Structures are given as C-alpha cells and as structure tokens.
Structure 1
Amino acid sequence: MSGILNLPRSRPPKAHQMTTAPPQPAPTHTPVAARMSFLDRYLAVWILLAMGAGLALGALIPGLDQALESVQVMGMSLPIAVGLLVMMYPVLAKVRYDETHRVTGDRRLLALSLVLNWIIGPALMFALAWAFLPDHPEYRTGLIIVGLARCIAMVLIWNDLACGDREAAAVLVFINSVFQVIAFSGLGWFYLQVLPGWLGLPTTGVDFSVWAIFLSVLVFLGIPLLAGFLTRTVGERAKGRTWYEERFLPRIGPWALYGLLFTIVILFALQGDAILSQPLDVGRIAIPLVIYFVVMFLGSLFAARAAGVDYARSTTVAFTASGNNFELAIAVSIATFGVTSGQALAGVVGPLIEVPILVGLVYVALWLAPKLFPGDPSVPGTATSSAPPHTARTDREAAR
C-alpha cells in the first residue's frame, strides 16, 4: 500500500488505452511450523522434558531442593534468577527501542492492556478461586496472589514465538512492572479483605512487602531491559542495524529458550516434593488455573480484535494479560505464609500449569491468525510475511 501511495500522480488513461490487469494471486499462508527452527518446532516437547527432568532430579537426589534453595541473594533463588536473566536478555535485545513511541502513542492499546491486566484478570482469578476452592482457604489465597502478579518475564518468550509485536510487548511489560510496584499491595488488600467482606465471605489478613515486589521487578525486568537496550544501542552504532539483526541476534537468540528450559528444570527440582506428595491437591488447584489462562488469552485476543488492533499487537495484549509473574507470587506467598504453606503450593502449581498451557496457546494464536485477521500483513505465514517467525516482523513493518 505504501508503494502505491508514493506513486506520482498522473492523468487517468483514455478508454482506448485501458487494459485489463492480470488477476492477482490470493494471499497464501505457509505453515509456520514448517519454517520454525528445530528447537522452536518441538518447544512443547523440550518443556515437558525439562519439567520431567526437574521432578526426577528433585526426587532422586536427596537434599537437592534444600541445596538449591540455600543459594540465595537478597531472598531470591540465585539459580532461578540466573535462568530468567539468560532467558529475557536475548528477547529484550531484539526490541527496536527507537520505535516504541508508536506503541506509547496508541492509547487504545494501552487502555485495553491496563483494563485486562489490572481489572479483569485479578477479578477472574478471584471468582475462579472461590468457585473451585471454597473449602481450601490457603490454596484459594495462593491463587488470588498468582492473579495479582502480572507477568513481566516469560510473556516475552511466548509473544516472540507467536510473532507478536516486540516493541508493544516491551512497553506493556514495563507498564505492568510499574503498576505491580504501585498496585500489588493495595489489590491484595482489596481482594483478600475488602471484597470478601462485602460479599459476606471469610477474609484473609495480609502484609505484603513492597520492597520484595520492587526487588522482583528490578531484577527480573530492570537488569535484562537495561542490558538489551545497551546491547542494541552499542551494537547498531558500532556495526549498523543490518549486522546487528542479521548476524548478532541469530547468535544470541537460542539462549532465550536455553534459559527458559534451565529455569523450568531448577524450578521443578526445587518444588518437586510439594508437587509429587500432594497430587490430588495439585489437580484441584490446576483446574481454575487452566480455565483462567485459556479464558484470559482468548478473551483478550478477541477483545483486541474487536477494538481494531492488528494480529501482532492483539497477540501481545493476549499474552501480557494471560501470563503471570510466578516468581513474585511464589516469593510473596513464602515470605507471607511460609515455605510449606498451601499458599506457596498454589504458587508453585502456577508455572506447572502456565508453561505448557501458554506454549499451547502460541500454536492456537498462529492457527487462529489467518482466520481472525484475514488480509492482515502482521499475520505470520502470509504472502507479506513469509519469513521465519523470529524475522517475520521485518516483512510486517515493510508492509505497513
């Protein structure tokens, strides 16, 4: 379209000069899986293997969970922190920070994300927790805390795999992190004390540490965000954008998935005993979580589509609204209620369910894309977006 708009104006041809233009081929949709790398194509398999490996390590090596848990810095598990930083850095290094202004100027996108993340998401988790766990106050409270902890880490991986808008993801994750520091404690008080009191339900006393919330945001988002920004800035100035995106990024890209798999192994090695020793309780906690992730993702995707947002940004909105910050939820639950509490177990079950469900939703998003967004150049696999998933955004931007 931009090429047509830039053509010089000319007089329309006379009748005898008119010719019939040859019919244009309809846009084609190349299966995205066929163009994924081997690692990306079987990501669900690797994640399941990582979960199984973590559980096996925790069960077969006595004292491994205590040994890993003892390696802490300022109350945070160092192995998990390292895995998350390795996971997030390549994704944030891919962001074109000089183009984030086109996201911050989109008030419709920002408003939609804020409503979904900070009003609908916590309210839905509150309703599901009470509907499925009315007789388990500890698990119920743990689920509500999971619902309040909006995702600032793994969502970047899911968004990238589904060919979402990287700049939009960076901006929305940053906004979520700011709101998390400001609003987490107040929302916890509202959903655990005020709202249950209004509804005549039992209340739960809470005393969240604002410092713990701020530290989580600073480490899990601030450090990789700064590293990604500096890497792109220095790399482009030294070698240019073409070298940076075609030579440097492909080298560091796979480390995002390596970091993800490492984090999953460590997390499940740490919490394997809690998961394996209480399978029925894990199943009860899992049911509302599955419903939450699926409803939030599909509801957010259709809401963004109804608001006129394109596929790339609709996908970003959907993943940022459906993902949760399990690191923060677990840390808050342990600090507030204890490491062996039911609240902590609910927090641990969060990633057990979230990781495979959101990986599955990546494939759902790619499958729904041409059906929900026909003719949208940001849909991966179309004639205007024929590059592999991790490079398709270049073609999308050229088509805008």
Structure 2
Amino acid sequence: PERVIEFKVKHIDDDGDLQIHRGFRVQHSSLLGPYKGGLRFHPSVDEDTLRSLAFNQTLKNALSTMDLGGAKGGSDFNPKGKSQAEIARFSQAFILALARDLGPTYDVPAGDLGVSQNEIGVMVQVLEQIDPALRYTLTGKPINMGGSILRPEATGYGLVYFMISLLNHFHQTDFKDKRVIISGAGNVALGAAQKVVELGGRVVGMSDSRGFLSYEAGLDVKRIKALKLAQKGALADYDGQGTYQQGHGLYGLPCDVALACATQNEVTLADVQLLRQNQVLALGEGANMALTKAARDYVRDEGMLLGVDIAANAGGVIVSGFEMIQNAKQARWSAAQVDAQLHMKMQDIFKQVMDACERVQQPRNLVVGASLAGFNRLIKAWQSQHDAGK
C-alpha cells in the first residue's frame, strides 16, 4: 500500500470507563483517483485483514470504471451489544482521530461491516464542525446530509444485476422462477433479496449469525426487511410462512442460485460441495472474500460458476461514486436514474471480465478474468502517468 495509518481511539463506555481501541486506514492506491473504501467496526479488524481488503478494493474500483483509488479502514471495536449512544461516541472519537488524513478529493471512506448510515451521519457532523469543506468526505450518508438514494441497497442490487448477466451468458436464463438462497440479513442480503423478488425469483432461504429461514414457496422479503430494519429483530422472530433452524445449514437447501452476502470466509468447502450436489447454476459473492480458499479452489477445479466479489459486489462503490458526483454538482438523482445507471455499470463489468476470460482461454474462470481486467486498467493508468512524466 502507499500508506498505512494506525492510531488509538479513546472513548468512554456506558459505564463511564475509558476504553482504547486500535484504528487503521490502509490507503492502498491513488493511481485512478482519490482513495475509496469502507470503514468496518468488528473485532476481527487488524492491519493484515485491512491490507488484503484494501488491495481487493483497488481491483474492484478499477473494474468499476469509476475514477477511484482503493483503501480500507476500521477498528477492532465491537458494536454488538453496545448502546446507540456508545457507538455514536466511539464513531465520533474514531473520525476525529482520522480526520486529518481524509478529504473529499483525497480519501473518501464509506460504511462497511458494523458501520451503518447512522454512524456515517454521526461522523459527517464531526467533520463539518472541523471544517465545512469536509462535509462531502464520506459516502453512504443519510439522504438529508447529501446521501444518494438506493445507497443501502446498491451492493445487493448490483450483485443481482451481475448474476443476471452471468446466468444469461452461460445458461440463457434469468431470475424468473429461480430458487435463490441468500446468506446474511444486512443491507447487502436485503437488497439482493428485494431485487430477486422484483425480477420474478423466489428467495427460498436466508440466514443470520444464529441460523437460517427456509420456505420452498418463497419467503416474504418485505416482512423480513421490516423485521431487520424497522424492528431490529433477528430472523428467529420472523412470523411469516417458513421454518427457522439454528446453525449453519443454509447451503444444504436445494436452490438454483446462491448469493453469499454475510461476511468473509463464510462459505466453506463443505458448503460448495453441497451446492454442487444440488446442481446450483451459479454462486455470487455479495460479501468480500466470502469463500474460503479451499472453497474457491474447489469451485475452480469443478468448473462451477462464481460471480467473484471484486466484480459482483462493486455496486456499493459504484453508487458511492454516483454520490460523489451528485455532491460535486449539488444534484440529486432519482431512484430510477441511480438504478438504471447501476444496471448499466454492472453489465459493463461483466463484459470486461468475460473479455479477459476469453483472452486467457479460461471462459468459466471469472476469478482470473476479474483480476486481469482490474490489473489491466491499473497498468494502463500507470503507463499513461509514466508517459506524462508524473
């Protein structure tokens, strides 16, 4: 990376005690534009994880065709079980410590695991107090603070659009009447579920960290969305038709398409073996690095179709890019406009990936195709800067 920033974040917890956590920002590459990538609050956060995610983000942003560099940041603070007030105090302390290394044309973070629109809103207020010129330094903002419509849904919508192109290319089909399982119950999973239903598919399974819901005729996605977002409930509280089971059994459900939208390394070798057994048409990574290395190797060796994370889940950063454009022009796009532009960008990414796959004569290996397509754009940018004497 070009730069790794490590800092201490001190905040007072609800018991009045001083807590100290580690904060990081890995600014990986500014070759294509300002650093861009999420902030996550999760106990698993450390420098190595963020270096790996920042590298991935650089490739993803290159593939997105937006003029954005790559970065990732966060802290090992765990928001689970904490009050909103304590999470807000931590968010304020975190962004205060990082503020001097950010800026709307230099480094523009967004939310990620454990950092919702609420926390972004809290951070924006802190940055505005430091300097009003910093108000557009974050994306994923609440709408009334200059956020873009459809930003929470963007990664999930984009994933489904990428998978439509994949299903169409390899199987001459789409989501109509397809049985889809989706891991996770956060923004990415909910966005994907909503779009699948819109396109005529059935969401036959969804999971959270405790267990999974299943219903062959299709779960009530609207009800699940209300449960998760409005009531902050768990999937176990779902009162629609379907069965809730504890444990990690989602990938054993018969399905046509599987979308992994929970967290990294969630999909194991055993999971992809079950999917293969059930003759799944394709698997998509809505979460970053959702498959373990063993799972990814098996998928490659068996010729299974994988919508790889750096291509398939680029919807979030694309709509973040749209948010930056809207902020710069003091404009506000409609939901239809954002959705249509996102769909076009995801089709474009799929085409880039397939072109790269054909060039290396690995027509089904989208992991190789996506990496090559991303590297190609970075190399071209480096060459043009080099030729211009930068």
Q: Which is higher, the Rg of structure 1 or of structure 2?
A: 1
Per residue, is there more helix in 1 or in 2?
Answer: 1
- The question of a shared fold, defined as TM-score above 0.5 by the shorter chain, is answered with no
Pairwise TM-score range, normalised by the shorter structure: under 0.3
TM-score by length of 1: 0.24
